[in-house]
């Protein structure tokens, strides 16, 4: 079954086209990069171009997987809006995938792990997972760097961000540094969620920001 996955959570994004099998395997046909800052203009035309390149149309898509965050507020909104619209029009299932889960399963460790992403402002997006078959979420939250270092003492830490890896190592923590997951990882995780019926309707699909937007903070403090 044809799976279309998108990731617009970071400075650079991507689209993946994959074929999912009933046994849970998911073969990625191609990952198509998206230029940062151009998601709103590029995403839908590039989806059409990728499908056409492989001889498909949007009607061949059997399921969608989308990176729901955490990450760029603007980027996430663009990616989610596109998948909401496609999912609504085509009536196909949607799986929302946390980037922290993608980080957790991309590492070499099983059992309890701490997936970490740089949130800026000396903060860290942290997600604790029990990695296995299946992988289960313990919880995700926004951490200070001190809280991140404390959590890294209890769980095997994994990050794609060099700055966090350096902070951890300088504090004497063990951490695994990986490549940042792309829409290929979103496709694979999303397909497993589709098979497990862990799906979300277009109306309920929402971003997993973890940290509130500046507008929300301003509104609360005004």
147 and 211 inside one domain: no
10 and 81 inside one domain: yes
Domain hosting 24: range is 2-99+181-221
52 and 151 inside one domain: no
- Domain count of the chain? 2
Q: Is 176 exposed, middle or buried (0-12, 13-18, 19+ CB in 10 A)?
A: middle
Helices (H), the chain: 39-53, 73-90, 99-106, 145-151, 162-170, 183-195, 214-221
pLDDT 10s digits, 62-83: 999 999 999 989 999 999 999 9
What does the block give as tokens for 130? 């029990």
22 and 93 inside one domain: yes
89 and 170 inside one domain: no
Looking at residue 219, its pLDDT comes to 35
- Please name which of 10, 29, 32 lies closest in space to residue 20, comparing C-alpha atoms: 29
Strand residues in 121-167 grouped as ranges (E): 123-131, 136-144, 156-159
147 and 49 inside one domain: no
Provide the 3-class DSSP secondary structure of residue 177. Answer: strand
pLDDT 10s digits, 128-167: 999 998 899 999 999 999 999 999 999 999 999 999 999 9
- CATH classification at residue 134: 3.30.420.40
123 and 217 inside one domain: no
84 and 188 inside one domain: yes
């Amino acid at each position: 079954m044809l799976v279309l996955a998108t990731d617009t959570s970071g400075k650079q994004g991507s689209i993946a086209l994959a074929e999912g099998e009933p046994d849970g395997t998911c073969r990625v046909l191609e990952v198509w990069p998206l230029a940062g800052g151009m998601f709103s203009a590029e995403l839908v035309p590039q989806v059409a171009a990728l499908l056409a390149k492989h001889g498909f149309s949007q009607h061949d898509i059997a399921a969608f997987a989308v990176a729901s965050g955490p990450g760029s507020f603007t980027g996430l909104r663009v990616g989610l809006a596109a998948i909401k619209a496609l999912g609504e029009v085509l009536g196909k299932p949607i799986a929302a995938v946390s980037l922290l889960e993608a980080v957790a399963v991309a590492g070499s460790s099983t059992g309890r792990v701490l997936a970490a992403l740089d949130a800026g402002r000396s903060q860290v997006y942290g997600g604790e997972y029990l990695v296995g078959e299946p992988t289960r979420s313990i919880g995700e939250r926004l951490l200070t760097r001190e809280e991140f270092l404390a959590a890294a003492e209890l769980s095997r830490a994994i990050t794609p961000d060099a700055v966090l890896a350096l902070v951890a190592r300088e504090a004497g923590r063990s951490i695994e540094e990986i490549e940042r997951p792309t829409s290929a990882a979103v496709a694979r995780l999303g397909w497993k969620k589709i098979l497990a019926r862990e799906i979300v309707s277009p109306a309920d699909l929402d971003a997993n920001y973890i940290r509130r937007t500046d507008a929300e903070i301003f509104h609360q403090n005004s």
